């Protein structure tokens, strides 16, 4: 029987006491393990390896952490391609003594690592965001769905919102600041690229033949019911959080998130270049609504799945931080949804003309 929802945990012990203590924990949980002591000091150090279903890594890590073994232990969690054994079945009977997270989720430390890895080098992130915005703007002017889909595929937008959400539930201030910085810079780069490309097209002879700007800007979905826009964005956030916290493929969810953000950015670029204030404000509000809703949904989902500190003092602090951010995000989403509802009915059309 082969399974992919497994992790190989390796515990490196640097003293005989630590080795025996770790083995007592594994024996108490009836876990299979191997010991390798071919190290520089076989009398004191060893590497203990054992397989676990991904959702049971967290409880075992907690037990080992509570031992307070300090500098005498390293823990390494490896995600193998697959683990094959006749001892593995569809159920987790072999690990029935290990209490899991309640869902097929990865450990908190692995979630933290995956979220941090989703934010690439800032230069690469900015470059890919600019390219996707330019492609989306071209797709809007060409009225080409295929080109718009291409812009969604190359947009690196899933990382920062997911990292921001993970940082919120586990209360990691550094990761939160870094991911928030990526979201802000990504937004500025995307809008600047879209507007710059649209202005370049308008000021040259590269305008597509028969381009009808008013018809093109109908691709903007700011006139759609605000409730449906919020539902779509929240669904993208929930899907992203679930994919990140399990072994599911996160790449396709990234395309879904990009689909909620990139096309409206292209509309913003075209609208500014051709002076269409209603479309600009509407599509800009849609972009903000989608980004904030994705962050909101991911935070709520990850907290509900149990990815928060375990100790009471850390839990109280993290919960307070999480509630403040959820309230701010929810309030902003409601305000933007109300704004779009009035804009769609024409109530704010005159205001849009005055602002731009």
For 212-244, write each residue's pLDDT tens digit: 776 767 666 655 667 788 888 888 888 888 888
More confident residue, 267 or 97: 267
For residues 67-87, one letter each, b for 16 or more C-beta atoms within 10 angstroms of the residue's C-beta and e for the rest, the string is eebeebbebebeeeeebeeee
Segment 133-153, tens digit of pLDDT: 999 888 888 878 888 888 888
- Non-local (6+) Cβ contacts of 176 within 8 A are 164, 167, 168
Segment 65-106, tens digit of pLDDT: 777 776 778 888 877 766 776 666 544 444 444 444 455 567
Which pLDDT belongs to residue 339? Answer: 86
Which pLDDT belongs to residue 65? Answer: 76
**Pairwise CA distance, residues 61 & 106, whole Å:** 12
Question: Among residues of the chain, what percentage have pLDDT more than 90?
Answer: 13
Handedness of CA 192, 195, 197, 203 (dihedral sign): negative
Which pLDDT belongs to residue 297? Answer: 92
Beta-carbon-side half-sphere exposure of residue 287 (alpha carbons within 13 Å): 25
Tokens coding 231: 């539902």
- 226 CB neighbour count, 10 Å cutoff: 23
pLDDT at 20 over 70: yes
Which pLDDT belongs to residue 94? Answer: 45
pLDDT at 264 over 60: yes
What average pLDDT score do residues 284-295 get? 90
Kindly list the structural domains of the chain, giving each domain's residue range(s) and its CATH number in brackets, ordered by start. 2-105 (3.30.70.120), 111-355 (1.20.1080)
More confident residue, 333 or 66: 333
């Amino acid at each position: 029987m082969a399974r992919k929802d497994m992790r190989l945990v390796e515990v490196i012990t640097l003293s005989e006491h630590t080795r025996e203590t770790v083995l007592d924990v594994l024996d108490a949980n009836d876990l299979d393990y191997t010991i390798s002591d071919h190290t520089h000091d076989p009398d004191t150090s060893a590497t203990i390896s054992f397989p676990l279903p991904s959702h049971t890594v967290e409880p075992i890590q907690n037990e080992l952490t509570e031992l307070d073994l300090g500098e005498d232990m390293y823990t390494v969690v490896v995600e193998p391609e697959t683990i094959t054994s006749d001892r593995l079945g569809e159920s987790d009977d072999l690990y029935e003594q290990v209490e899991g997270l309640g869902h097929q989720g990865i450990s908190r430390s692995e979630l933290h690592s995956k979220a941090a890895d989703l934010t690439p080098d800032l230069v690469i992130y900015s470059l890919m965001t600019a390219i996707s915005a330019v492609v989306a703007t071209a797709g809007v002017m060409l009225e080409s769905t295929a080109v718009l889909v291409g812009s969604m595929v190359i947009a690196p937008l899933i990382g920062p919102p997911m990292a921001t959400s993970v940082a919120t539930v586990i209360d990691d201030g550094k990761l939160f600041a870094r991911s928030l910085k990526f979201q802000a810079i990504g937004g500025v780069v995307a809008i600047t690229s879209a507007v710059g490309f649209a202005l370049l097209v308008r000021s040259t002879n590269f305008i597509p033949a028969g381009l009808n700007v008013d018809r093109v800007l109908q691709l903007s979905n700011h006139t759609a019911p605000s409730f449906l826009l919020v539902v779509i964005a929240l669904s993208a956030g929930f899907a992203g959080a679930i994919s990140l916290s399990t072994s599911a493929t996160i790449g396709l969810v990234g395309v879904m998130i990009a689909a909620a953000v990139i096309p409206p950015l292209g509309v913003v670029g075209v609208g500014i270049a051709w002076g269409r204030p209603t479309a600009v404000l509407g599509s800009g509000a849609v972009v903000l609504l989608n980004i904030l809703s994705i962050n909101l949904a991911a935070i709520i989902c990850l907290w509900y799945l149990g990815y928060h500190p375990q100790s009471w003092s850390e839990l109280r602090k993290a919960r307070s931080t999480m509630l403040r951010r959820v309230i701010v995000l929810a309030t902003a989403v409601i305000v933007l949804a109300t704004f779009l509802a009035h804009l769609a009915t024409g109530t704010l059309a005159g205001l849009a003309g005055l602002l731009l």
